[in-house]
A and B are shown apart, each in its own frame.
Chain A
């Protein structure tokens, strides 16, 4: 599985959009990009995933660059409850494991 690089921490003001970047420069053509988040002492929560098109759901939007070497998770109107560690993961479709990196600790400030 390709490795990902994320900033270790970020801050965002409540009500603003939080944009979390992820580099995956060695991604293969059949690898999906997944985003999860983890609040302290809980299991990771699935947010969104995509292959090459931008995706949006009720939680977030995922923007993948045309060359697929990087992506951005957007939380459109961040709230205090969005404070968590966010993990960007790439995974081959059909593969049965996710490889987690260190993630980005996002802090939403009032």
Chain B
């Protein structure tokens, strides 16, 4: 089945450690995105990439880093500089058409203690 796979579903880390969240898509989409969701809140954009080897900061990029070496993959690293890393992280992808909708994965819930 075509789709977006995020792994793992739950992730636990100690404060001060960097952690990388995986996102893979087999939809042949050019664009990929990372969002963060906090309890009772909407989604906030962290980073997005429109094409391989290129990415842009979203609204809350501080403390995060990404890479886009392959079309299918857009991993997100949550660094120790991120002050409140505990959250639900969502990856999405889309075509680059003008009105192409985003398709989301099922998220990774990160808990940092």
Contact = CB atoms under 8 A, between A and B. Distances in A.
B105 interface: yes
A94 B98 contact: yes
Contacts of B41: 102
Contacts of A43: 4, 6, 90, 92, 104-107
Contacts, number: 54
Interface of A: 32, 34, 41-46, 49, 51, 87, 93-94, 96-103
B76 to A, nearest CB: 14
How big is the B interface, by class? 20 to 34
Interface in B50-64: 50, 56, 58
B101 A34 contact: yes
Interface in B23-69: 31, 33, 35, 41-45, 48, 50, 56, 58
B106 to A, nearest CB: 5
